Chain A
Amino acid sequence: MPRMFAVICFMGLAWLVQADVATAATWSINSTGGVLQQPTSHYYHAIYGAEALFATTNDGLLIRASYLERPEFHDAGYSDKDYGWFGLIGTKVTKAANHGLFAFIGGGRMSGYVKADPDYRGTSGEPNNHYLISGLTVAMAYAVHLGPVYLAAEHQTFVGYVDKVQLDALVGWPFHFFQIKAGLAW
């Protein structure tokens, strides 16, 4: 497996550095901000993050890596936080040159914790509850290129893996992210 992985990586790099792709490709680094909705809550929480985006000619293929987090929230002697990281591939689904709708699909992980606040409870502050789930994620973004400036509005859904018991109960774990993005492309 490691040898096969190395071969795949080498072929991918060779493909990326060939003249047509390398000269026509676009890279962008973007900051993101918006709101998050957790699976079991219908409140909207502020969230922010960053992403790196690679796009081939005419946005036929996009590759994206992103990280998002909700700031730690303190209340009633507890603090809690959510964060996640994702890898997605996508494509443009409309035809206009410098703006349009993009569709992404990929995988990622969401994590978070709820822990006792040591200042309030006098406890060790060790996490009382920590979760980490892997899952599928999809996103739709409307993006605009204004020269080197990249702007986008996006909805992303992450659905965490469920075990058989949860599946039998028809339960899923969707996280929703509504985000505005801004960055630089070159």
Chain B
Amino acid sequence: MRWVKVACLWLLAAGNAFADGSRHYTVTGQFISLAPNAGGQNAYALRLATNEWEISGFSNLGISINGRALTGATYDWRFPICDDSCWWQFFVQTGVGASNGGPLAELTWGSVLPLVPIWLPFTAPRYLPALRLDMTTQIIATRWRAVTWSYPLWAGISVAF
């Protein structure tokens, strides 16, 4: 039981860490994505975010560009509906980026849910893994047309620090 008490105190301390009002960052790794066609897609992203912006690099092994996986980087402007002062975060993002398929625009509806018991009464906890769920659309300007590609559900793990 002692370790449970210690863990709870640590969780409370971590949760209150955002109360100081200082800027903090969240790093996210995304590694499971649905695809808009049979066969699924293996898409990976590494993201660094604040409440105002997010930068990311991604690679989609399900889309081939001249024999290479679609790979690129994006900068997104984040518009929180409920930011990290909320226990459960919601936000939308609009972004631009570059890839080996061409320049792209990105639209995301995202959510971050702490992977801790629901009764803990604090805001988004620091240093603890959280589940991130995105619905992302990329519009990629290829040579001849704008291709809309979808990540109907893009899941990963976020850690704030």
A interface, CB within 8 angstroms of B: 37, 39-40, 42, 44, 91, 93-94, 101, 103, 105, 136, 138, 140, 155, 157, 159, 162, 167, 169-174, 176
Contact = CB atoms under 8 A, between A and B. Distances in A.
Contacts of B153: 159, 172
B36 A140 contact: no
A177 to B, nearest CB: 10
A136 B94 CA distance: 20
Contacts of B37: 39-40, 171
A153 to B, nearest CB: 12
Given A103-B81, A172-B153, A39 B36 contact: yes
Interface in B137-160: 137, 147-148, 150, 152-153
Interface stretch (B6-14, B15-23, B38-46, B121-129): B38-46
B94 A169 contact: no
Q: How large is the interface on B (under 10, 10 to 19, 20 to 34, 35 or more residues)?
A: 20 to 34
A17 B52 CA distance: 37
B36 A172 contact: yes
Contacts of B109: 103, 105, 138, 140, 157
Nearest to B42: A170
Q: Tell me the interface secondary structure of chain A in the complex.
A: strand
Nearest to B147: A42
A105 B134 CA distance: 13
B128 to A, nearest CB: 25
Contacts of B137: 155, 157, 174, 176
A44 B139 CA distance: 13
B70 interface: no
B147 to A, nearest CB: 6
A39 B152 CA distance: 10
Contacts of A91: 81
A169 B135 contact: no
B35 A94 contact: no
B38 A101 contact: no
Contacts of A159: 135, 152-153
Interface in B86-118: 92, 94, 107, 109
B80 A93 contact: yes
Contact of B135 (A101, A138, A170, A171): A138
B92 A140 contact: yes
B43 to A, nearest CB: 10
Given A40-B36, A155-B137, A170-B35, 11 more contacts: A91-B81, A94-B79, A140-B94, A162-B34, A170-B39, A172-B36, A172-B150, A173-B36, A174-B36, A174-B150, A176-B150
A35 B34 CA distance: 23
A140 B107 contact: yes
A174 B79 CA distance: 23
Contacts of B135: 136, 138, 157, 159
B150 A170 contact: no
B33 interface: yes
A157 B137 CA distance: 8
A91 B32 CA distance: 29
Residue among B36, B94, B109 with the most chain A CB within 10 A?
Answer: B36
